[in-house]
Every structure is written in C-alpha cells, then in structure tokens.
Amino acid sequence: MQVLEAQTVEEIFSNIQLKKAVKGLKDHNPVMTQRFGADPYALVYNGRVYLYMTGDMPTYDADGKLQENTYGNINIINVISSEDLVNWTDHGTVYAASETGAATWGANSWAPAAAYKNIDGKDRFFLYFANNGNGIAVLSADSPVGPFTDPINGPLISRKTPNCAEVTWLFDPAVLMDDDGSAYIYVGGGVPSIEKAANPGTARVAKLGDDMISLACDPQPIENVPFLFEDSGINKMGDKYYYSYCSNFSMKPEDEEKAGYNQGEIVTLVSESPMGPFEVYKPVLKNPEYFFGRGGNNHHCMFDFKGNWYITYHSRILEEAMDMNGGYRSTNIDVLEVKDGGPSVSKGTRSGVKQLSYLNPYDDVKAVTMANCAGVETRQYGEEAEKYGSGDMIVTGISDGSWISVMGADFGNAKPFELSVKLGGDGTGAIRVSLDSPDGEVLAYVPVEAMNGEVEDVFVSLKCVPEGVHDVYFTFAGTGYEFLSWRFIK
C-alpha cells in the first residue's frame, strides 16, 4: 500500500466537515443510532447483556413522504450486546419471519423475548416473538446471536391453543427462568371492549416444557390485571415474582388518581408464585412522553446486570433528532430503582447509565462496537451472517466527515506504539484517530487504498502515546471502503 504523506492527510481532514450525531457526544441513549429498534428485551449471558429489538423500518410513499409506522412490514429482530452498557456491538438483524425468515409461516416479528438453558450439556438460546397479534413463535440457536432456526415449524402459541382464542392481542411474550430450572412464558394484551378496560382479562401464563419449545401446560389467565394494555414483563427479585405491563389508554382521570399511575405507564404486580395469583404493586416507568415530549406505546424489560438493576424501554428521541415523525422507536437504558426488595419508580433520560467497565483497546475490537456514530451504516459480514441476518458485522456507508466512537478505553501505562486496523472495499481515503472528541488530539492517520474487495490489516505508527482512560474517535475521509476491526499494539 502506498503511504500518504502526513501533511497531505492533515490537509484532507482540515477541509472536511464532521457529520452531526443524532445524540450528544456524552449521551448514552439511545443505545443504538445506526437504525431503529423497539420493544427491547434483555438477556444476560457470560458477562454481556444482549438486547433483542423489534426492527422498526421507516416506510415512504411514492412521493417520498414518510409514512406512519403500522408495524405491518416488520419481520426482523435487531441484536446488539455490551459488557459495559455504553459501548454496544452490532450483531445485525435476525431474519425472523416471512418467506425470507426462519419462521416462514409467520408474517411479522414483534416484541421479542429471549432465554437460554443448558440442555444435554450445551447452552441453547431461544428467541420468542409475536406473529403480529395472533400468536407466538420460537426460534433456537447455539449462540445468542444465532443463526436462529425454527425448531417446530409453526407457532408455539396460537388462537387454537386452549384459553387463547379470546385474547384480544396474543402477543408480547416474556420468559422467566426460575431458580429450579423451570421456565414460564407470559403473553397477551388488549382491551376487548371499553366496559372491560379496568380488567381486560387478556393476560396469560404457561409453564414451558423442558425443551423450551413446547408448553408443559395450557396457558392460564392471569387474574385481576388492572388496566392491562400490552407488554408482558416478568422478574424474580428475592423470593417474589414481579409481573409488569403497560397500562391502557382507556383510563379516565379518576381511574388514574385511584390507581396511582397514568395511562401508558409501566406498572407491576407481585406474587409468591410464577403463575400467580398476583397483587398490585407499584408503577415503575411513566410513558416516554413524560420524559421526552413524544409519546406512544410503552414497552420495557427489567434486568439485573453485574449486581445492579436496569430498565430498558423505547422512546422516539431518535426519530425526533432525525427530523422524522412517524412513530419509529429506539431503545434506551436507565437505572431501575429498587426499594423494599422490589422495583420502584425510575426515570427516562438521554444521558443513560454509567459505564460499568473500561474497554480494552489492546483486544481486537469490532468496528461495529460503538458508543456513538454519525453518517455510517453497518451490514452483515460473511456468508452465515448474510444468510441468517445476524452474526458478524462491518461498518460501511462511510463518507467524508462520518465517524464512530467508543467510550472509556483504558490504555493504562503500557505505552502503545502502533495501531492495527482491518479494512476492506474498493474505495480510498483516510481515517483520523483521535482522543476524547472527533477533533481531539490525533493518535494516528490511517491511509486507505483500494483493497480489491478483500479485508486487509493496515498498521500505522502512533503520533503520540496515549495513557489512562480516553474516548476514541475514528473520523473518515473518502468513501467506498469498509471497517472491520481495530486494536492498539504495545
């Protein structure tokens, strides 16, 4: 590769205008900005939290006008993961439903839930989702990111399942893995009529079979779920079980005053048994409109990670930042307050949660591991990911002024002297690597020449020696090339 003169590269970047990020440089919400992701569900596995999200996809009419999100075209599930809740690795989109997805019999993939279980000495992963409002599918895999396949070639729960035909919306699954190894699934929602708004009777719970892809019993009604709308949630804290859901939008002011929560709010019930009976407990999260100004449905998941409790939920702050207004959702994470042993009131923020651990810049870091970005896209990388939708990913869509960043990289006192990056594609340009901001102290300039479609390692010497903890920014010039991974060498 021909090496560009340093001064030439500096001149290139002096004339480039940075792309504007859709969230603040220090904000952690939304957790992903390269595409939308709604109805988040958290799975904690081997020191990482994996988020599975409904793949909201903006649609436009023939004149290019943004259409309101009807969810009717959604058949993918987005997957990201993190070990620090700030830097998120993009694992792509599970091709979940329709003729091009794993569940070819289904039309849609809404509101995923995920679980894993050791079966015959091997961890198996299970992804449950709603086929619109008419039933629940289950996919399985040997990895939390897939490839996922359909082990039963049909619905796990449908309107033919006992006690389910009358459920208004047979959707929004949640799964509980209990301490004794048993598992339970919670589904349902909807208001049959305005007269039943106070107690719709549309929530269901069933014990899962040992294989996690069958039911061990018929689904049973969860009795007395006041003002249920949608969004099943389930958690065990101590020896109590907390069922959570979104309250419906038929609540009158007097209903709200008496109940102690508002319409469209996440509320909880408590029981000493996973199948109930449950009693009213506390509200935990107001509608996103309360915190961010734009409302809509409210969908959440509470999870325990590294000794602390968090709540992940969706809002519309990403579409607002993108000057869109169509009901397209993005995922946030905030601290879940726990009082008296149970979930309590939490707040939605743009700043998000604190970074739990530092990133190791001497590891091979996937370029799709990002805290923030502007003007880039990601795509599937490799035959398996391209076939199934999820797996390895690569940063693409690069253009002048686009950039990515990670937060809290700990260089320690090791005095690195070189940077290795893996690049591909046919384009040319350069990458500026800087500390703490896109125009911060420059660590290195990486010249980029055409790779003829291959991925190659490029090594460059550092202009200065980083020490301690810093954010790291990669700013791009040129186009037509792709970025797979990076690491510093000491």
pLDDT per residue as tens, the chain (490 positions): 344 555 588 888 988 999 999 999 999 999 999 999 999 999 999 999 999 999 999 999 999 999 999 999 999 999 999 999 999 999 999 999 999 999 999 999 999 999 999 999 999 999 999 999 999 999 999 999 999 999 999 999 999 999 999 999 999 999 999 999 999 999 999 999 999 999 999 999 999 999 999 999 999 999 999 999 999 999 999 999 999 999 999 999 999 999 999 999 999 999 999 999 999 999 999 999 999 999 999 999 999 999 999 999 999 999 999 999 999 999 999 999 999 999 999 999 999 999 999 999 999 999 999 999 999 999 999 999 999 999 999 999 999 999 999 999 999 999 999 999 999 999 999 999 999 999 999 999 999 998 888 899 999 999 999 999 999 999 999 999 999 999 999 9
Question: Quick one: pLDDT at residue 105?
Answer: 98
Residue 246 lies in a domain: yes
Answer yes or no: do 318 and 267 share one domain.
yes
CATH assignment of the domain containing 118: 2.115.10.20
Domain boundary among 343, 372, 405: 343
The tally of domains found in the chain comes to: 2
pLDDT at 2: 42
Helices (H), 353-445: 383-388
The verdict on residue 213 lying in a domain is yes
Q: Which domain holds residue 394?
A: 6-18+358-489
Q: Are 197 and 137 in a shared domain? A: yes
Say if residue 324 is in the same domain as residue 362.
Answer: no
- Answer yes or no: is 160 within a domain: yes
pLDDT in the model for residue 7: 55
Is there a domain that residue 28 lies in?
no
C-alpha–C-alpha distance, residues 164 and 216, integer Å: 15
| Residue 22 in tokens | 């859709």
Contact 215, 162 (CB under 8 A): no
Global pTM?
A: 0.97
* CATH code of the domain in which 447 resides: 2.60.120.260
Contact criterion met (CB below 8 Å) for 358 and 84: yes
Last residue of a domain, one of 343, 372, 403: 343
Q: What is the pLDDT of residue 324?
A: 97
The answer to whether 462 touches 429, Cβ cutoff 8 Å, is no
Catalytic residues: 39, 230
* Co-location of 434 and 302 in the same domain: no
What is the predicted pLDDT for the residue at 16? Answer: 92
Q: List alpha helices for 313-443, DSSP H.
A: 317-321, 383-388
The pLDDT of residue 5 is 52
> CB-side exposure of 210: number of CA atoms within 13 Å?
3
* pLDDT value, residue 137: 98
277 upstream amide cis, omega within 30 of 0: yes
Looking at residue 11, what is its pLDDT? 86
- Where residue 99 falls (left for φ over 0; alpha for ψ -120 to 50; beta otherwise) is alpha
**pLDDT value of position 10:** 86
Same domain, 82 and 186: yes
**Tokens coding 481:** 């090339």
